[in-house]
Amino acid sequence: LTSLPIYTCGPSYCSAIRWARENEDVALHATECSVAQMTADLTKLQNPNFRTFLAQNAYDFGQTHFSHDKVTKIFQSGLMGTQG
């Protein structure tokens, strides 16, 4: 399996930004979407250790919260009327 680092840029009220803040170390995010800010952020992503760190954390988060098994269990518990 492979994963990529997540980068998002938007206003502070943006759901993607709020999600990135709530899930620290899963995504690189910025609320200032200027060329200068994006250049600085993309420069950070040139560091292979940082890219790997973010990508691994994003992968782990996805496996914990969005894996097929997890989603199937939630769906099945909804059908059965139980809490997952």
pLDDT in tens, 15-73: 999 999 999 899 999 999 999 999 999 999 999 999 999 999 999 998 888 888 888 98
Cβ proximity of 20 and 29 under 8 Å? yes
Task: With a cut of 90, say whether residue 84 has pLDDT above it.
Answer: no
C-alpha distances (whole Å) from 24 to each of 27, 29, 49, 53, 57 are: 7, 10, 17, 12, 9
The two structure tokens encoding residue 1: 């399996």
Non-local CB neighbours of 8 within 8 Å, separated by 6+ positions: 14, 16, 17, 20, 27, 28, 29, 30
pLDDT, residue 7, reads: 95
pTM of whole model > 0.95? no
Task: With a cut of 90, say whether residue 82 has pLDDT above it.
Answer: no
pLDDT, residue 1, reads: 57
